[in-house]
């Protein structure tokens, strides 16, 4: 299933992407069951994920009945991040050797995880802001894991049992803020500026939807591509991950309880803008795609 979060008017709700249209799940539930109101989990993806199989069974029934009056054209909705309110967003640095080479880094001996803050989230077809203090705004297409069952100290062989599904992410990177002056020749003892460099507003486009795990049996063999204004800039495959999805979940859960709706960005292949001296500007269209998951499109706007 392809599940999404969208707004229609002022109300946020969960939808099902079905044959090119969006099934408004709360409306479908009210129509199908002659109900005054739909369950809370049809308005909140994180709650739906936490409910788990019983919630998915409701969605499956609604998809079979699918009242026409509850179907929307994609042009009628405002897309939101599939999980707009995750407790945690974790990302990993240099998880493709070829990307490490272009950035002048060797992969670390274990995943180097850093946070992206929830204020950075933005959905499909939504603007990404080039803030007035930023000169070097970069792109990074990534497979994003959406956690399902909670867990701590998760073993790699059990890791996929804790996954709800997958979506597409673009780890927007503000390079002139990420890297300290003189980097890399002159290293900062405090490291890179991860918060400014990765978590300014709208620096984490995610979407269009989350594809449930049953539709992606192996997340470690998916093609990734990214275009800027129609020009292919990045291409790779998750088979090239230094630490695969299961290993990332294992390491991310060391001393940290992963919860339903948490997001894990799994790293980016080569082709980012920084080594090429190419950066995003107002008016650019960025499209990030992961095989079997979907294509995420965003528009760059200059902050006034």
Burial grade of 187 (CB within 10 A; 0-12, 13-18, 19 or more): exposed
Are 48 and 187 part of one and the same domain? Answer: no
The pLDDT assigned to 105 comes to: 65
Please tell me the predicted confidence (pLDDT) of residue 237.
96
Distance (Å, whole) CA 165 – CA 122: 18
Q: ∠ at Cα 69 (65, 73), nearest 5°? A: 105
- Which position has the higher pLDDT, 126 or 182? 126
Domain end position, chosen among 55, 80, 105: 80
Q: Which two tokens stand for residue 144?
A: 């994003």
Task: Identify the CATH number of the domain in which residue 36 sits.
Answer: 2.30.30.230
Q: 287 and 175: one domain?
A: yes
Q: Can you give the pLDDT at residue 100?
A: 53
Same domain, yes or no: 98 and 73: no
pLDDT of 65 reads: 83
pTM above 0.85, yes or no: yes
Other CB atoms within a 10 A radius of the CB of residue 216 amount to: 20
- Domain with 68, as residue range(s), is 2-80
Task: State the pLDDT confidence band at 206, using cuts at 50, 70 and 90.
Answer: very high
Per-residue model confidence as pLDDT tens digits over 56-105: 999 999 999 878 899 999 999 999 999 999 999 999 998 987 755 666 66
What does the pLDDT read at residue 108?
A: 81
């Amino acid at each position: 299933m392809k599940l999404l979060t969208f707004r229609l008017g002022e109300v946020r709700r969960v939808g099902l992407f079905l044959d090119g249209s969006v099934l408004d799940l709360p409306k479908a539930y009210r129509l199908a069951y002659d109900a005054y109101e739909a369950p809370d989990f049809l308005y909140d993806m994180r709650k739906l994920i936490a409910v788990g199989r019983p919630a998915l069974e409701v969605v499956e029934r609604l998809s079979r009945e699918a009242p026409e009056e509850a179907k929307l054209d994609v042009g009628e909705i405002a897309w939101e991040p599939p999980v707009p309110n995750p407790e945690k967003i974790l990302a990993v640095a240099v998880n493709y050797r070829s990307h490490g080479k272009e950035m002048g880094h060797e992969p670390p001996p274990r995943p180097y995880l850093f946070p992206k803050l929830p204020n950075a989230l933005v959905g499909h077809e939504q603007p990404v802001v080039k803030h007035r203090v930023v000169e070097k705004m970069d792109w990074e297409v990534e497979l994003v894991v959406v956690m399902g069952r909670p867990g701590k100290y998760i073993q790699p062989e059990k890791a996929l049992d804790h996954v709800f599904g997958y979506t597409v992410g673009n780890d927007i990177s503000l390079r002139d803020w990420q890297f300290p002056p003189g980097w890399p020749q002159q290293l900062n003892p405090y490291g890179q500026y991860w918060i400014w460099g990765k978590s300014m507003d709208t620096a984490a486009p995610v979407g269009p939807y989350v594809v449930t795990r049953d539709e992606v049996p192996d997340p470690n063999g998916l093609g990734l591509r990214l275009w800027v204004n129609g020009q292919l800039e990045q291409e790779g495959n998750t088979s090239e991950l230094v630490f695969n999805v299961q290993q990332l979940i294992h390491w991310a859960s060391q001393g940290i309880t992963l919860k339903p709706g948490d997001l894990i960005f799994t790293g980016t292949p080569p082709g980012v803008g920084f080594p090429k001296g190419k950066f995003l500007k107002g008016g650019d269209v960025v499209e990030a795609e992961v095989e079997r998951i979907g294509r995420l499109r965003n528009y760059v706007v200059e902050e006034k």
